[in-house]
Amino acid sequence: MKLYNTRSRTKEEFVPLIEGQLKLYACGPTVYNYFHIGNARAFLFFDVVRRYFEYLGYEVTYVQNITDIDDKIIEQAQAEDQDFQRIAEKYTKAFLEDCARLGIAPPTHQPRATQVMPQIIALIKKLVDTEHAYEVDGDVYFDTTSLPEYGLLSGKKIDEQKTGARVAENVSKHHPADFTLWKKSKPKEPFWPSPWGEGRPGWHTECVVMSQSFLGDNFDIHGGGIDLVFPHHENENAQAMALTGKPLARYWMHNGFLNIDGEKMSKSLKNFFTARDILKEYDAEAIRFFFLSKHYRSPIDFTRELIIESDKAVDNFYKAIQASDLDNLNVEEISCAECLRLEQDFRACMNDDFNTARAIAILFDLARLAKNSKFSVENRQDAARMLLKLGKVLGFFQHPEQRLSSQMPDLSKDLIELMLKYRTQARADKNWALSDQIRDDLKSLGIEIKDGPSGSSWDQRN
């Protein structure tokens, strides 16, 4: 297996610290709002990383943090006139709900920053004691000039670090690149007691403690979005290097950006969508297919047309399973030689830096085999079993019985689409009574109509 390591900027052969084990950490949310669709890409991708290593037989320890104390949480608490803990709990609950709806398996451990405060304070004290950090009037900063390896991950040299978008201006710091480990609390802000006075930790230190608490000083893979390389991951790694002389992780993996209709997602452009927004309109498996159909390191452009195409692609997989006349959905022993060859091709794709786009092409090959009437029933069913087996590695087919039982003949779907067309015309004619009647009649048959900015769609409810 080869992984692209952000630190070396090359593909490297993956060699675990302990044979047969994977220790993986991926950055979770700062819980001050619902997470956006760009965050969903990272959460879904590292869910697949975890699933694939488990498929290979590794014992996986996957840690994903929850940052439940941060400036943004405090600002949101003030905006909603709530205690910061209530805000953090509200959006933590929403995060867990939305992850479950996206089919993201819970990590092995999911620590919260406020749960490890004694360990955070102890780590900062070690950095101060070893002269890698200094205190100024209750604030504690990491001294980047004390670490020759600073910039190892991001490639940014300390001499180039000047005040700007990513380096905050602060006259108390010895160098512009120095970053906060402990922040003195302001009036009416939450705080914890420390050797430097009442305050709260910096974001970069929280993640170091939460990862090392469960995975050790040095672990296999650290992941997150490309926007986290600097300063967050650079500053995490710096603290680990200062204390242990070793990088925090051996391999650093980062997924690419998400654009919306060719533009960067932004609230000012009114193209900012949360995962919760998108899940109201589209099936979770379609969203998963959309992200995995592109290599994780490549930027990806979100359009509704692509999500609709993704949903059709997933539907094709289920139709293939149906067409094979598979008598049960258990993945039993598979003997079809072509199917076994395709499984090896699937592994080759995933072993090449998690090329899920090529891996999905293997699923289409299996779907064609499952539907090919020229093959024996046994081989077609083996193809369907292999489709289920490999699809589950990518997080598909988590509840296949439910989806397959809701599959309907094409004629039924055509009739529903025709009714939807008549309803659209009724709405255009402002014939609201007819529009409502069509909606209510379809609802009585178990068909729910969804009206969105881009038009109407439907879904079958069991």
The β-bridge partners of 253 are 223
pLDDT at 161 exceeding the cut of 70: no
- Asked if residue 443 has pLDDT above 90, the reply is no
pLDDT at 271 over 80: no
68 within a domain of the structure (yes/no)? yes
Q: Is residue 396 situated within a structural domain? A: yes
Q: Give the torsion through C-alpha atoms of 264, 452, 99, 405, to 10 deg.
A: -140
State the total domains in the chain.
Answer: 3
Cis peptide before 231 (omega within 30 of 0): yes
Mean pLDDT of 243-257: 97
Residues 253 and 131 in one domain: yes
Verify that 360 and 430 share a domain, yes or no: no
**Are 392 and 422 found together in one domain?**
no
Is 431 inside a domain boundary?
yes
List the single range of 66-70, 139-143, 318-322, 458-462 with lowest mean pLDDT: 458-462
Place of tokens 């760009």: 38
Mean pLDDT throughout 294-300? 97
Same domain, 112 and 66: yes
Reported confidence tier of residue 389, pLDDT bands at 50, 70, 90 = very high
Query: Mean per-residue pLDDT for 305-326?
Result: 93
Rg (CA), the chain: 25
**How far, in Å, CA of 224 to CA of 28, rounded?**
8
Expressed as residue numbers, the domain containing 51 is 2-259
Residues 37 and 129 in one domain: yes
Q: Quick one: 414 and 451 in the same domain?
A: yes
Given 405, 429, 447, which residue is the final one in a domain?
405
Give tens-digit pLDDT for 111-148.
999 999 999 999 999 999 999 999 999 999 999 999 99
pTM of the full structure:
0.85
Q: What DSSP designation does 117 have?
A: H
Q: Is residue 47 part of a domain?
A: yes
Domain containing residue 48: CATH number = 3.40.50.620
d(CA 58, CA 298): 27
In a domain, 290, yes or no: no
Q: Among 259, 279, 295, where does a domain finish?
A: 259
Element (H, E) at 173: none
- 63 and 103 belong to one structural domain: yes
Q: What is the pLDDT of residue 157?
A: 81
Question: What average pLDDT does the structure give for the chain?
Answer: 91
Residue 424 lies in a domain: yes
Task: Please report, for residues 35, 160, 318, 324, the alpha-carbon distance to residue 313 in angstroms, rounded to integers and kept in the order given.
Answer: 26, 47, 9, 17
What is the predicted pLDDT for the residue at 165?
A: 45
**Residue 48 in contact with residue 395, Cβ under 8 Å?**
yes
* Rounded Cα–Cα distance for residues 224 and 240 (Å): 17
State whether 348 and 254 are in the same domain: no
Residues 43 and 76 placed together within one structural domain of the fold: yes
Is it the case that residue 169 has pLDDT exceeding 70? no
Confirm whether 305 is domain-assigned. no
The least confident of 288-297, 353-362, 398-407 is 398-407
Torsion of CA 327, 331, 332, 334, to 10 degrees: 100
- If asked whether residues 168 and 20 sit together in one domain, one would say yes
Query: Rounded to 5 degrees, what are φ and ψ at 133?
Result: -145, 160
The answer to whether residues 37 and 167 belong to one domain is yes
User: Looking at the structure, do residues 425 and 397 belong to the same domain, yes or no?
Assistant: no
Tell me the residue length of the chain: 462
Could you tell me which residue, 438 or 272, shows the higher pLDDT?
A: 438
Among residues 359, 385, 405, which one ends one of the domains?
Answer: 405
Residue at 264 is within a domain = no
